[in-house]
Amino acid sequence: MSTEEQSTGWSGGKHAFGDFAPGMVHYTDRVLFDEVWERDGLTKRDRSLITVAALTAMGKMEQLQFHLAHARRNGVTDEQLKEALLHLAFYAGWPNGMGATSVLKSIVEQEG
């Protein structure tokens, strides 16, 4: 079966980069989301929480914009995300926790 036939239909890389960075598109859409996120062993909800934790710890607020919203779609509640970000603030640094909470607040206000 070809990569196209196995695709989950994810096109976030293509949406972000179009034809500008075909390698980034391929690895984002086909490898990361079609393969890694679809592996057995962890639910998408669990993968979302792990990703939010890693991005918060690294202070990657731009990527958190997507992944906090994605976590909500994967079944993580707003209250669970708030609690996770509070917990992370003590391990990943207060500025990272505050920044991530600001990103979540913005998402909740925009998306409801």
Four-way CATH pick for 44-111: 1.10.460.10, 3.40.50.10860, 3.30.70.1350, 1.20.1290.10: 1.20.1290.10
| Domain residue limits, the chain | 10-36, 44-111
What tens digit of pLDDT does each residue of 31-88 get? Answer: 999 999 999 999 999 999 999 999 999 999 999 999 999 999 999 999 999 999 999 9
> Is the predicted pLDDT of residue 23 greater than 90, yes or no?
yes
- Measured CA to CA, the distance from residue 45 to residue 37 in angstroms comes to 10
Q: How confident is the model at residue 11 (pLDDT cuts 50, 70, 90)?
A: confident
Give SS3 for 37.
coil
Cβ neighbours of residue 55 closer than 8 Å, sequence gap 6 or more: 63, 64, 67, 100
Query: Do 104 and 78 form a contact (C-beta atoms < 8 A)?
Result: yes
Can you give the pTM of this predicted structure?
0.87
